[in-house]
Amino acid sequence: MTRVAVLGGGSWGTTLANMLSGKGLEVGLWIREKELVDEIRRTRENSLFLPGIKLDSRLQVSQELIEVMQGADYFLVAIPTQFMRQALQEARELFPGSPVIICASKGVELVTLKPMSAVVQESLQEKDPFYAIISGPSFAGEVSKRLPTAVSLGCRDEDLGRRVQELMSTDFFRVYANPDYKGVELGGALKNIMAIAAGISDGLDFGHDARAALITRGLVEMARLGVALGGREKTFMGLSGMGDLVLTCTGDLSRNRQVGLKLGRGMTLDEILEGSRMVAEGVKTTESVWHLAQKMDVDMPITEQVYQVLFARKDPREAVQDLMSRDLKME
């Protein structure tokens, strides 16, 4: 039987592990917190990150990496972006040669300004890993309820991509393969910045017109950086680009949109982060992508203004006004 090791017991990691277990695969879920492992074993529920969802009785959970990773055919990693490198390095000796890593995290590493494909490759270099990235419009809460969802799977190796596509697909979770893994992973990361921007606009009650403009111009901005980093422009028109962007900019389940809403309504970033147990990847991604855009000389005006609001305490109204008063251009 195919065995999958899922590293990371947040809402998304738990959802994917539960989905694969329900499909009949042998799945082990690694969770760092012992109390959470004990609770899941006792109640079959992850009340911290996925409350109200009963987990498959066959899903194995453990705090011990070796129990989860031993004998696995695939390694699905759903660890927050900024902790990915450390976690992979801690587990490095437990990976077999040429492991298949399926990344379910979205972001750009702050210290190095590198995407997750580079972080995985560098962290497990001597293991010669194969890499795939799953990304697209998918709220954990909806997938956990088996609501219809479609996502992209980026994998350079097309044969492996087809195998992982089959592995991850169910009758409610449809996976489209795409060899442009760079575009897929960057779309999933960059859309979080735009979701914060859309949330700010809605928090200021600027209306549907403003939100639509932010989504549209945000997509242009995402593709501009994506192409500069080796992705294909066409990928950003798909599920991992436009699809995920629309979802996170409009859906109230989006943690990044919620950050923006609260900023638009007058809260500070410190106040928002102190009151949340969930990671909003877009905050750190804004910081790393702002530095990356500066380094590569890529024009990203929305990212620039979100960065100023988050890290320079710029007034959100002033940020929007600066966007609206930029030099006029051709579309």
Average pLDDT estimate for 239-248: 98
pLDDT of residue 274: 86
Instruction: Indicate if 244 and 167 belong to the same structural domain.
Output: no
Q: Would 330 be classed as within a structural domain?
A: no
* Percent residues over pLDDT 70 in the chain: 99
Task: Specify the CATH number for the domain of residue 53.
Answer: 3.40.50.720
Instruction: Indicate if 130 and 100 belong to the same structural domain.
Output: yes
Q: Would 331 be classed as within a structural domain?
A: no
CB neighbour burial string for 268-305, b if at least 16 within 10 angstroms, e if fewer: eeeebeeeeeebbbbbbbbbbbbebbeeeebebebbbb
Geometric angle at alpha carbon 167, from 166 and 170, rounded to 5°: 75
Instruction: Indicate if 66 and 158 belong to the same structural domain.
Output: yes
* Percent residues over pLDDT 90 in the chain: 97
Enzyme catalytic residues: 191
Average pLDDT estimate for 85-113: 97
Q: Please report the beta strands in 53-140, taking only residues with DSSP state E, as ranges in sequence order.
A: 60-62, 74-77, 100-103, 130-135
SS3 call for 146: coil
Q: How many CB atoms lie within 10 A of CB 113?
A: 18
Final residue belonging to a domain, choices 126, 159, 179: 179
Instruction: Indicate if 113 and 152 belong to the same structural domain.
Output: yes
117, 29, 274, 283: CA torsion to nearest 10: 20
Instruction: Indicate if 160 and 249 belong to the same structural domain.
Output: no
Instruction: Indicate if 54 and 152 belong to the same structural domain.
Output: yes
Whether 166 shows a pLDDT value over 90: the answer reads yes
Average pLDDT estimate for 106-111: 96
Whether 98 shows a pLDDT value over 90: the answer reads yes
pLDDT of residue 134: 98
Q: Would 329 be classed as within a structural domain?
A: no
Q: Which residues contact residue 102 at a Cβ distance below 8 angstroms, ignoring those fewer than 6 apart? A: 74, 75, 76, 77, 132, 133, 134, 164, 168
Q: Would 80 be classed as within a structural domain?
A: yes
Q: Bridge-partner residues for 101, per DSSP?
A: 75, 131
Q: What is the pLDDT of residues 265-322, one digit of tens each?
A: 999 999 998 877 766 899 999 999 999 999 999 999 999 999 999 999 999 999 999 9
Instruction: Indicate if 161 and 306 belong to the same structural domain.
Output: no
pLDDT of residue 199: 97
Average pLDDT estimate for 317-328: 94
Q: How many CB atoms lie within 10 A of CB 112?
A: 13
pLDDT of residue 102: 98
User: Alpha-carbon distance 135 to 168, whole Å?
Assistant: 12
Q: Which domain holds residue 241?
A: 183-324
Instruction: Indicate if 114 and 262 belong to the same structural domain.
Output: no
- Mean confidence (pLDDT) of the chain: 97
Q: What is the pLDDT of residues 204-213, one digit of tens each?
A: 999 999 999 9
Instruction: Indicate if 154 and 188 belong to the same structural domain.
Output: no
User: Alpha-carbon distance 237 to 241, whole Å?
Assistant: 6
Whether 230 shows a pLDDT value over 80: the answer reads yes
Sorting pLDDT into bands at 50, 70 and 90, what band is 202?
Answer: very high
Which of 257, 263, 278, 265 lies closest to 215 in space, CA to CA? 257
Q: Which residue reads 């999933």 in tokens?
A: 188
Instruction: Indicate if 137 and 188 belong to the same structural domain.
Output: no
Task: Specify the CATH number for the domain of residue 265.
Answer: 1.10.1040.10
